[in-house]
C-alpha cells in the first residue's frame, strides 16, 4: 500500500468543519443546566434537556462535533469495548448489564437517526469481532459464549459464512448496530441542538467549574455561566478541569486511515457481502469497514498516550500510518496496490475499569465520560439518560449499571507510553508467530 501521498487531516476525513460556527460567550448568563463539551454526549444531553423544557446552555471550546464525535470509524457497536473475556472475568455480575447498555445504546442511536432524519449513510449491518489466527478464533468462541450467556444475539462462523473478506478466518457478528458516516451524524445532531431551545456557545473554552452554594459557576474567557446544575461531557479532555474526578480516564490518541476510492468490481471480489464492519481480536484491535464512497477506512492497532493536559491538537504520525498500511496489505492482499489517501485521528478516554462511567461530583455536577473507544452509540445514550435523571430525578437502570458511587478511580494500568508500546509489540510478536501480521520486523511505529 502506498503511503507517500497521504493527506494528514487535523480534523476528520469524514466531513469539513461546519460553516456556521456559533460565536463565543461574550457576557455573563444564567441557566438551569450548563453542559460543558459539545461532543455526542454533550449535544445529546443538551438536546434532550431542551426538548424536555429545560433552560440549557451548551459550551464547546471549538465547535460541536470537533472531537471524537466526528473523527471515529463510524462502527456502531452493539457490545462493550475492551477485552470482553477480561470484563466477564472481573465483573461477572455487571457484564450482562453492560452488554445490555451497549445494545440499548445502538438502538437509541438508530432511533435518533430516524427521529431527527439524519442522513449519515447508516447501514444496519452489525459488526464482526473477527480472528486473524487460530488463537484469536479461540478467543472469539469464548467471547461468543460470554455474550450469549449475557443474553446477546451473536452469529459465529467462518469468513464465508459471515460474508467478510477471506483475509480473516471467521468471527462472531454482533447483530445489533452497524456502520455510518460519523461526521454527518455529528453534524445532524448539531443541527438539531441549534434548532432546539438550547443556547449554544462555540469557540468557548471552559477554564474552571466551581460549586458556589447551590449554584455552579462555569468560567470562560468571555463571561461566566451560573447554573443550578452542570454536566461535564468533555470526554478525553476531562482532566483539563480541576473539578473532574482525578484519574477518571487516560487520554489516548487513535488513528484512522482511508484508502483512495476502489473499483467496485475489486471490492465485490473481496466477498464482503455482509458489509459488516470488522474488528480483530488483538489486544489492541484493528478495525476495517467499507464506506458509501467505495473506500475502506481502517485504523487503531496502536494507541498513543497524551503526555499532559491540555491535549494538543495533532495529526497522525507517519510511522503509525505506515504500520496500519502494512496490516491492511496483510488483511487485503488483493488490494496491496491501493493507496492510502488520508489519515486523521482523535482522543479517546480509557477508564481503569475499561467500563463506561457516569456519576456525580457533589450535589450538582454530573459527569459522563469514557465510553472506552465505543462511545459512538454509548456517549449519546448515556448523555440522554443523564438529561432524564436531571429532569425526573430518577435513574434509568442502564445508567445505574455504569454509575460510579464515588468519584474515585485507581490509575489505569498499562496506559503509559511504555505499557502501550509493549502491548503493540506483544500483538506484533503474536502476529509473527501466527503468520498473521504484516511484516513486524519492518515495524517502526
Ligand X SMILES: Cc1cc2nc3c(=O)[nH]c(=O)nc-3n(C[C@H](O)[C@H](O)[C@H](O)COP(=O)(O)OP(=O)(O)OC[C@H]3O[C@@H](n4cnc5c(N)ncnc54)[C@H](O)[C@@H]3O)c2cc1C
Name the site residues for ligand X (rule: CB under 6 A).
Answer: 36-42, 59-62, 66-69, 71-75, 77, 205-206, 233-237, 240, 254, 256, 299, 345-346, 348, 371, 373-377, 379
Is the CB of 20 or the CB of 394 nearer to ligand X? 20
Instruction: Assess contact for 283 and 426: CB atoms under 8 A.
Output: yes
| In the complex, least distance from residue 41 CB atom to ligand X, rounded to whole angstroms | 3
Instruction: Assess contact for 438 and 431: CB atoms under 8 A.
Output: yes
CA distance linking residue 40 with residue 98, whole number of Å: 19
CA 260 to chain centre: 24
Is the CB of 14 or the CB of 168 nearer to ligand X? 14
| In the complex, least distance from residue 80 CB atom to ligand X, rounded to whole angstroms | 10
Pick the closest to residue 346 from 383, 309, 303, 379 (CA basis).
303
Is the CB of 29 or the CB of 432 nearer to ligand X? 29
| In the complex, least distance from residue 263 CB atom to ligand X, rounded to whole angstroms | 25
| In the complex, least distance from residue 379 CB atom to ligand X, rounded to whole angstroms | 3
Is the CB of 42 or the CB of 96 nearer to ligand X? 42
Is the CB of 346 or the CB of 412 nearer to ligand X? 346
Is the CB of 234 or the CB of 436 nearer to ligand X? 234
Instruction: Assess contact for 240 and 219: CB atoms under 8 A.
Output: no
Q: Which three cell numbers stand for residue 355?
A: 467500563
Bridge partners (DSSP) listed for residue 277: 127
Is the CB of 150 or the CB of 348 nearer to ligand X? 348
CA distance linking residue 319 with residue 324, whole number of Å: 9
| In the complex, least distance from residue 39 CB atom to ligand X, rounded to whole angstroms | 2
Rg (CA), the chain: 21
Is the CB of 81 or the CB of 438 nearer to ligand X? 81
Instruction: Assess contact for 68 and 235: CB atoms under 8 A.
Output: yes
CA distance linking residue 138 with residue 172, whole number of Å: 11
CA 77 to chain centre: 10
| In the complex, least distance from residue 189 CB atom to ligand X, rounded to whole angstroms | 9
DSSP letter for each residue of 359-428: EEETTTEEEEE--TT-HHHHHHHHHHHHHHHHHHS---HHHHHHB-SSS--PPPTT-SHHHHHHHHHHHH
CB atoms within 10 A of CB 233: 31
In which residue are the cell numbers 454482533 written? 174
| Through-space distance between the first and last CA atoms of the chain, rounded to whole angstroms | 16
| In the complex, least distance from residue 15 CB atom to ligand X, rounded to whole angstroms | 13
| In the complex, least distance from residue 350 CB atom to ligand X, rounded to whole angstroms | 10
| In the complex, least distance from residue 265 CB atom to ligand X, rounded to whole angstroms | 27
Is the CB of 141 or the CB of 305 nearer to ligand X? 305
| In the complex, least distance from residue 209 CB atom to ligand X, rounded to whole angstroms | 9
β-strands 199-201, 215-220 pairing? unpaired
β-strands 365-369, 223-232 pairing? parallel
CA distance linking residue 69 with residue 58, whole number of Å: 16
Is the CB of 147 or the CB of 377 nearer to ligand X? 377
Amino acid at each position: 500500500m502506498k503511503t507517500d501521498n497521504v493527506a494528514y487531516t487535523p480534523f476528520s476525513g469524514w466531513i469539513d468543519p461546519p460553516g456556521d460556527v456559533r460565536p463565543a460567550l461574550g457576557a455573563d448568563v444564567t441557566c438551569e443546566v450548563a453542559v460543558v463539551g459539545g461532543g455526542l454526549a454533550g449535544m445529546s444531553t443538551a438536546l434532550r434537556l431542551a426538548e424536555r423544557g429545560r433552560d440549557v446552555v451548551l459550551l464547546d471550546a471549538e465547535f460541536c462535533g470537533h472531537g471524537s464525535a466526528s473523527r471515529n470509524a463510524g462502527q456502531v457497536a452493539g457490545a462493550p469495548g475492551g477485552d470482553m473475556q477480561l470484563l466477564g472475568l472481573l465483573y461477572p455480575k455487571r457484564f450482562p448489564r453492560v452488554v445490555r447498555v451497549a445494545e440499548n445504546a445502538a438502538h437509541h442511536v438508530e432511533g435518533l437517526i430516524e427521529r431527527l432524519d439524519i442522513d449519515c449513510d447508516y447501514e444496519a449491518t452489525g459488526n464482526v469481532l473477527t480472528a486473524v489466527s487460530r488463537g484469536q478464533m479461540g478467543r472469539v468462541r469464548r467471547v461468543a459464549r460470554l455474550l450469549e450467556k449475557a443474553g446477546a444475539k451473536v452469529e459465529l462462523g467462518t469468513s464465508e459464512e459471515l460474508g467478510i473478506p477471506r483475509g480473516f478466518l471467521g468471527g462472531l457478528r454482533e447483530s445489533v448496530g452497524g456502520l455510518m458516516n460519523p461526521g454527518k451524524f455529528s453534524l445532524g445532531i448539531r443541527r438539531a441542538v441549534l434548532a432546539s431551545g438550547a443556547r449554544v456557545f462555540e469557540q468557548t473554552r471552559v477554564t474552571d467549574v466551581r460549586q458556589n452554594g447551590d449554584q455552579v459557576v462555569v468560567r470562560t474567557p468571555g463571561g461566566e455561566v451560573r447554573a443550578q446544575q452542570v454536566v461535564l461531557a468533555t470526554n478525553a479532555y476531562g482532566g483539563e478541569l480541576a473539578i473532574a474526578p482525578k484519574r477518571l480516564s487516560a487520554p489516548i490518541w487513535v488513528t484512522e486511515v482511508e484508502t483512495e476510492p476502489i473499483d467496485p468490481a475489486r471490492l465485490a471480489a473481496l466477498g464482503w457481502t455482509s458489509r459488516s464492519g470488522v474488528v480483530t481480536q488483538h489486544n489492541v484491535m484493528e478495525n476495517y469497514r467499507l464506506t458509501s464512497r467505495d473506500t475502506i477506512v481502517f485504523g487503531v492497532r496502536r494507541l498513543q498516550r497524551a503526555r499532559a493536559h491540555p491535549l494538543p491538537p495533532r495529526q497522525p504520525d507517519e510511522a503509525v500510518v505506515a504500520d496500519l498500511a502494512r496490516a491492511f496489505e496483510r488483511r487485503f492482499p488483493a488490494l496491496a496496490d491501493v493507496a492510502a489517501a488520508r489519515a486523521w485521528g482523535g482522543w479517546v478516554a480509557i477508564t481503569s475499569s475499561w467500563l463506561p462511567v457516569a456519576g456525580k461530583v457533589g450535589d450538582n455536577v454530573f459527569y459522563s465520560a469514557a465510553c472506552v473507544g465505543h462511545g459512538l452509540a454509548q456517549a449519546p445514550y448515556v448523555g440522554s439518560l443523564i438529561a432524564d435523571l436531571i429532569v425526573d430525578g430518577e435513574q434509568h437502570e442502564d445508567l445505574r449499571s455504569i454509575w460510579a458511587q464515588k468519584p474515585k478511580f485507581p490509575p489505569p494500568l498499562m496506559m503509559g507510553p511504555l505499557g502501550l508500546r509493549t502491548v503493540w509489540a506483544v500483538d506484533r510478536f503474536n502476529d509473527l508467530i501466527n503468520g498473521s501480521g504484516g511484516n513486524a520486523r519492518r515495524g517502526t511505529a
